[in-house]
Amino acid sequence: MNTFAEFEIIGRVGQIKEGNGVLWVSIAAEYGRKDNHGDFQSKPFWNDVSIFNENVIKWVKENTVKGDLVRATGTIRSESYETNSGETRHGVKLACDNFSNLAHMIRKQMERQQAG
């Protein structure tokens, strides 16, 4: 039996940063709710996904901008590291295997409709 830990995030792109062969994309997942007055209160939670595949990195850089609605899936990896002051920090790495830009797909559909 295979065992695994994976994630799926659908949200809006915040920042895209690159370094050392990795592309980091921050994606806001919305966990809003209605308050006592019935008004919607936004509560985004930012998730930083790491992309290691060179082809996916190239595609994301060429086709994704801040604010795009995207879907990212991949594996979850626990990690720990020691800071310069000797403190141990723990975290979770979201290693993205698949990245879809839903906004890009919609733009392409609109372009085809306008051309056709």
Instruction: Show the tokens assigned to 46.
Output: 């930012």
Q: Which residue did the predictor score with more confidence, 45 or 40? A: 45
- Grade residue 30 by pLDDT with cuts at 50, 70 and 90: confident
Whether 53 maps to a domain, the answer reads: yes
94 or 37, greater pLDDT:
94
The pTM is what? 0.78
Q: What is the tally of structural domains in the chain?
A: 1
Is residue 71 situated within a structural domain? yes
Domain that holds residue 32: 6-115
> Is residue 1 one of the residues assigned to a domain?
no
Domain with residue 96: its CATH number is 2.40.50.140
For 42-47, what is the mean pLDDT?
90
Residue at 23 is within a domain: yes
